A = this chain, B = another copy of it.
């Protein structure tokens, strides 16, 4: 063994929490959940070439592996607490592990998330993270609470990560011919792909006001579809209200809307609330920094229907991203 992977990880798991009785180094972690809270638990696995492109920097992989999981906690309105990491690597590669932990910890620390356990094994590059957070049972944001008449919102901007992936797929020659503004846009989109910002603070704020919530990992149409199905309702979406970044509009003016509707990996929150809360939601989330746009309303009829600002029906070109799409 070139070096002790688990020791390297333990040495970096610096976040101290009083509720961690026993962290990395025994058969299991021992944790003390706070009384009166529910425990929110999620796991997501990232595979090279599926969830991040070949050649992604180790620090970006570490960041993203945690971000996609924190996004699940955000969608429940939960406060992050603990994570376990299962890391599969072709070889015990110190440089990779240190870089990975740089990215992982850069996101863990501001959230006071402690890395409390995990395992390492030799195999194709794969990262599986399990996260735990706390939320009062009656305040947890579920997918199933949307009601006809509720307004639909989404945080941040949509489609950027998928556009970032499209930028990476293009030939390098293309990039060289770009104007400076386009170079900056390209960089911004790839940053959104590699370093998504889980909307943890927004999710916690939404506990007071949202009727249902989901994070946008597979694309807005797919994920809003999941929310509607869980709630037994449908949605009417105004495609002209979709929040689009200037970077996306700069590089993909013709198909920005398609990216926003069906692109995966944005990790924004899509949520519903009674329409009387709309002004407060938009104002408060703008103040928080991520922003929120009102993009439609919940209807009784099942399915997600699209219209433009003039009320004309619109058809989407695909319905999101699916790891097992054939």
Q: Which residues of B contact A122 (CB under 8 A)?
A: 47, 50, 323-324
Chain B residues, CB < 8 A from A118: 43
Quick check: B124 and A123 within 8 Å, CB to CB?
yes
Residues A133 and B28 in contact in the complex (CB < 8 Å), given A120-B323, A122-B324: yes
A32–B72 alpha-carbon span in the complex (Å): 18
| A308 interfacial contact with B, CB 8 Å | no
Closest to A29 in B: B41
Chain B residue at minimum C-beta to C-beta distance from A39: B31
> What's the Cα separation between A209 and B130 when bound, in Å?
32
Residue of chain B at shortest CB distance from A71: B27
Copy total for this chain? 2
A51's partner among B1, B121, B144 (CB-CB below 8 A) is B121
Number of interface residues of A (CB under 8 A): 69
B43 touching A86 by the CB < 8 A rule? yes
Cα A30 to Cα B140 with chains together (Å): 8
Residues of B within 8 A of A5 (CB): 324
Question: In angstroms, how far is the closest chain B Cβ from the Cβ of A18?
Answer: 13
Min CB distance, A206 to chain B, in Å? 13
Interface centre among A31, A73, A119 (most CB of B within 10 A): A119
A126 at the interface (CB under 8 A from B): yes
Whether A171 is near chain B, meaning CB under 8 Å from some CB there, is no
A84 to chain B: closest residue by CB: B43
**A133 to B29 alpha-carbon distance, docked (Å):** 10
Interface residues in A22-46 by Cβ distance below 8 A to B read 22, 25-33, 35, 38-45
Q: Determine if A108 is an interface residue (Cβ-Cβ < 8 Å).
A: no
> A-side interface residues toward B, CB under 8 Å?
1-2, 5, 21-22, 25-33, 35, 38-45, 47, 50-51, 71-73, 75-76, 78, 82, 84-86, 88, 91-92, 116-124, 126, 128, 130-133, 135, 137, 140, 142-144, 213-215, 230, 322-326
| Closest 4 A/B residue pairs (Cβ) | A27-B75, A28-B42, A47-B123, A28-B40
